[in-house]
Chains A and B, each alone.
Chain A
Amino acid sequence: MTFKLDALFDSPDKQYLDASDLSTLSQYVSSIPERMAVYRTLRDQEIAIVQPIADALQQQAGHPEPLVERSVRNGLMVLRYAAMAMLLDDESFVEERLQGWLPEMVKAYETQAVDQQLFQLLHKQLGKVFSPAQLGLLKPSLEKAQSLMLNTRETVTLAGLL
């Protein structure tokens, strides 16, 4: 597991944690109840949050069903990894797990345009469910995932093989 606080726990061979290390730790610990609340909501309302997005992509934006299905799959994945990253307070978790995977899937199935709309709708949906403070907890990892997915600069593509 990757964890921002790992660096703190890595160092007993050097010295005891100093005041600022301990304050980092206590800030994280005191934020856990809120993080868990957000996590629970995302877990329990996964379908309720994502289904309207799928409907909008298909009905209003008129994207073909297989494309919407792929994109929604991407969205669900992003949401799950973002939720975990938020729980751990570590947006690099999103990067480590999704890099080399999700961007490649986006390219292979050519869902960039749909994904872009999906993210807009997702932000709107989350705004309805969470308070601004709660959104603030999710934002760093969601943004990380979004830039990872929509910034596909590697040139290798599998699309032609399909």
Chain B
Amino acid sequence: MVSVADLLTDGRLPGNYFAQDLYVRGSTELGLLENRRGDRLLAIPDPLLQAIYSGLEKETGQASGLVLYNCGRWWGKNFYARFCEELADYYKQPLASLSMAEFLQSLQQCWKTHGWGQIHLDITYRDRGFLGVEIWHSPFTAAAPQGQKPSGDLERGILEIFFTQLTGRELRCAQTSCTAKGDDCNRFILGLDKRLAPVEGMVANGQAHQAIMQTLMQQG
């Protein structure tokens, strides 16, 4: 029998930890924004993002994507650790016993509340060993130089390391569509290195997300 009293062991009913009006706070007398745990938050102006892209392009040229990708991995590693720590604290249980639904929904809410756009997981290709991620309204690729190549390198890095740590398997991430080249959102594919290898070439040839996925599926 379901006992309501047992469901409410310590009277708590954890919900949306990252609800925006709860999560973002400020210590205005110090001039700081904070999250609900008192960790520092920072608002980055659009022109600064644009300046980073253009500065990198000017100083490192073709390597700028690689630099951003590595920054993304660095960021993602720390983001994953902090994200897990916050959730474990909030749910008062080790992360391993948190359900996947709560974990992933928290990730979506977290992403949104930080102003990084809307992140959605696409599990259509799960049986074939690929995980799709869509990011809508990304502020990062919105500030990136417009062109023919995907420019979500920062996000590619974050996602790669985040899901690598989550799944415990060395995953690679490739971007198949990008708002900076006129697509409706940023799409990423995560999978094992050797299975994902052909994607880079197809992206470089300007193939669309659907076509790339089709080819990947045919390869089995």
Contact = CB atoms under 8 A, between A and B. Distances in A.
B48 interface: no
A98 interface: yes
B30 to A, nearest CB: 21
Interface string A50-82: 110011011000000100110011001100100
Select the residue from A1, A73, A76, A158 with max chain B CB neighbours within 10 A: A158
The A interface is mostly helix, strand or loop, or mixed, namely: helix
A130 interface: no
Contacts of A162: 99-101
A52 B13 CA distance: 19
A55 B100 contact: no
B5 interface: yes
B70 interface: no
Interface stretch (A8-16, A99-107, A140-148): A99-107
Interface size classification for chain B:
20 to 34
A108 interface: yes
A161 B100 contact: yes
A69 B15 contact: no
A105 B16 CA distance: 11
Given A54-B2, A72-B7, 19 more contacts: A1-B21, A46-B8, A47-B4, A51-B4, A54-B3, A54-B4, A55-B1, A57-B2, A58-B1, A76-B7, A98-B16, A101-B15, A101-B19, A105-B101, A105-B105, A109-B101, A161-B100, A161-B121, A161-B123
